[in-house]
């Protein structure tokens, strides 16, 4: 802890020396017109306080300097940002509040101080205060996009989906970049919430808007199929699932169990078997999700699904094991391998965010790591490499 404190003090000193040197050069040049001029002693006292690990005293001195001279604004912005990065939010907030209270502050400087103060509040979870600040900055052209994004983050955290959608539309207008797919996700959230409240009418209305905004968004199609099935329209539900997998076969791990459940015969139905054959033939990307579905759900293990599992295993088996062909053809070994794979898949994250790398066992539509929407996908390295040690530790040998 002592080392971290010294590092903070040193970093503060560097910033103060750099920014402060420029500021006080201007002050000194101005004052030399009438007096010899010199840097105020409080400036050096503040630096000494920082180096002596007395950050509160240093902050007090810098704020006194700010009250006496307008040319310290840049220094205080630098100090406030540094305090916030180091987690000293209370000190950062005090600096930015002091700046905003200064009557001589220019409009641009005041807006920048508001932005910094809003970020301080966001970092400590004072979202109501941050919301007021960023709502004000929405009318400032320079800060519109930033303020809109911060408000979106606040409303998403509060699960206020209508407000988040409104700000996304505002952001779309400001930047010219489409936000329709994300707004469709918001309406999917509204669908899920309405279904939990058993408000079927509100769910259908939200789903209509989601389809209008993002007809090809995977989650939208899944919800359309889910509601169709709940209403007894099995034909439409099956059609939506088929179209989804034709476009995005990587979601077979999610779709196949519910698709099989549409039919009395389950995975043995002709419709299910036809679907599996079609997606396996259409894309190599489909093999891993089909194999994962088969490992997780024993009721899906028709020959086509088992074939996908065996092909994935074949790619990962130590070549030394192929010296014993009878080993891989043994029923006991196959059963033991499936048991091993089931444990493996149950214990490891299956999905990963393309944006930040966050991994989870279940699919999140809204990444908990970076808060991106629709960025999580099934990993391609789910299955383990199987070497000879698996035969000697956990897998039976034929005839034993």
pLDDT in tens, 286-317: 999 999 999 999 999 999 998 888 887 776 66
pLDDT higher than threshold 90 for residue 145: yes
Are 122 and 52 in contact by the 8 Å Cβ rule? The answer is no
pLDDT of residue 178: 95
* pLDDT beyond 60 at 392: no
Task: Output DSSP code: residue 317.
Answer: B
**Taking a C-beta distance cutoff of 8 angstroms, is the pair 231, 238 a contact?**
no
CA dist list (Å): 190 to 18, 56, 165, 225: 51, 47, 11, 16
Question: Which residues lie closer than 8 Å to 272 by C-beta, 6 or more apart?
Answer: 256, 259, 260, 263, 265, 266, 302
Q: In the chain, where are the structural domains located? A: 2-124, 232-316
Distance CA 330, CA 158 (A): 55
Q: How far apart are CA 24 and CA 33, in angstroms?
A: 15
**Greater model confidence, 279 or 33:** 279
Q: Which residues contact 30 (CB under 8 A, 6 or more apart)?
A: 37
Higher pLDDT, 37 or 216: 216
Mean pLDDT within 260-275: 94
**Token pair of 348 as six digits:** 């490891």
Beta strands in 11-92 (DSSP E): none
Which residue carries 């505002």 as its tokens?
Answer: 170
The structure's pTM equals: 0.77
Cα 142 from Cα 135, distance rounded (Å): 14
Helix, coil or strand: residue 352:
strand
What mean pLDDT comes out for the span 131-159? 94
Is residue 182's pLDDT more than 50? yes
Lowest mean pLDDT among 85-99, 173-187, 190-204, 288-302: 85-99
pLDDT over 90 percentage in the chain:
52
Q: Of the ranges 20-24, 149-153, 343-347, which one carries the lowest mean pLDDT score?
A: 20-24
pLDDT of residue 344: 83
Quote the tokens at residue 167: 């700000």
Query: Can you give the pLDDT at residue 43?
Result: 61
pLDDT at 339: 82
Write down how long the chain is.
400
| Closest C-alpha to 17, from 58, 57, 54 | 58
pLDDT band at 210; cut points 50, 70, 90: very high
pLDDT for position 18: 46
* Beta bridge partners of residue 377, listed in sequence order: 352
Indicate the SS3 state at residue 353.
strand
Residue with tokens 């700000």: 167
Nearest to 140 by CA among 104, 175, 101, 108: 108
Could you tell me which residue, 23 or 132, shows the higher pLDDT?
Answer: 132
Taking only the tens place, the pLDDT of each residue in 309-350 is 888 777 666 554 444 444 456 666 667 777 888 888 888 899
Q: Which residue has the tokens 């987690």?
A: 87
Distances in whole angstroms, Cα of residue 282 to Cα of each of 50, 247, 248, 277: 66, 10, 11, 9
């Amino acid at each position: 802890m002592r080392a971290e404190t010294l590092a903070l003090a040193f970093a503060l000193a560097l910033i103060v020396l750099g920014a402060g040197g420029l500021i006080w050069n201007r002050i000194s040049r101005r004052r030399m017109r009438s007096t010899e001029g010199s840097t105020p002693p409080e400036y050096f006292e503040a630096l000494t306080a920082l180096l002596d690990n007395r950050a509160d005293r240093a902050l007090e001195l810098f704020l006194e300097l700010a009250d006496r001279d307008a040319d310290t604004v840049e220094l205080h912005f630098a100090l406030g940002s540094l305090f916030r990065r180091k987690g000293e939010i209370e000190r950062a907030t005090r600096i930015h509040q002091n700046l905003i209270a200064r009557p001589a502050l220019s409009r641009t400087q005041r807006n920048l101080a508001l932005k910094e103060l809003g970020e301080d509040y966001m970092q400590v979870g004072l979202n109501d205060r941050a919301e007021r600040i960023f709502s004000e900055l929405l009318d400032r052209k320079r800060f519109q996009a930033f303020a809109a994004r911060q408000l979106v983050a606040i409303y998403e955290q509060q699960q206020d989906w209508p407000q988040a959608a409104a700000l996304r539309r505002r952001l779309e207008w400001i930047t010219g970049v489409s936000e329709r797919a994300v707004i469709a996700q918001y309406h999917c959230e509204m669908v899920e919430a309405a279904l939990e409240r058993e408000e079927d009418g509100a769910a259908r209305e939200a789903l209509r808007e989601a389809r209008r905004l993002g007809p090809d968004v995977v989650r939208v199609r899944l919800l359309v199929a889910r509601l169709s099935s709940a209403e007894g329209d099995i034909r439409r539900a099956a059609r939506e699932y088929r179209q989804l997998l034709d476009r995005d076969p990587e979601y077979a791990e999610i779709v196949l169990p519910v698709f099989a459940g549409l039919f009395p015969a389950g995975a043995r139905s002709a419709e299910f078997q036809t679907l599996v054959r079609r997606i396996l033939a259409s894309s190599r990307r489909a093999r891993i999700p089909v194999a994962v579905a088969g490992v997780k759900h024993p009721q899906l293990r028709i020959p086509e699904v088992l074939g996908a599992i065996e092909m994935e295993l074949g790619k990962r088996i130590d070549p030394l094991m192929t010296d014993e062909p009878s080993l891989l053809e043994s029923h006991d070994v196959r059963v033991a391998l499936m048991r091993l794979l089931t444990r493996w898949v149950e214990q490891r994250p299956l999905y990963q965010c393309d944006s930040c790398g966050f991994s989870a066992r279940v699919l999140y539509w809204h990444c908990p790591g970076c808060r991106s929407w629709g960025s999580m996908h099934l990993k391609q390295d789910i299955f383990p490499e199987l070497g000879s040690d698996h035969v000697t530790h956990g897998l039976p040998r034929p005839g034993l």
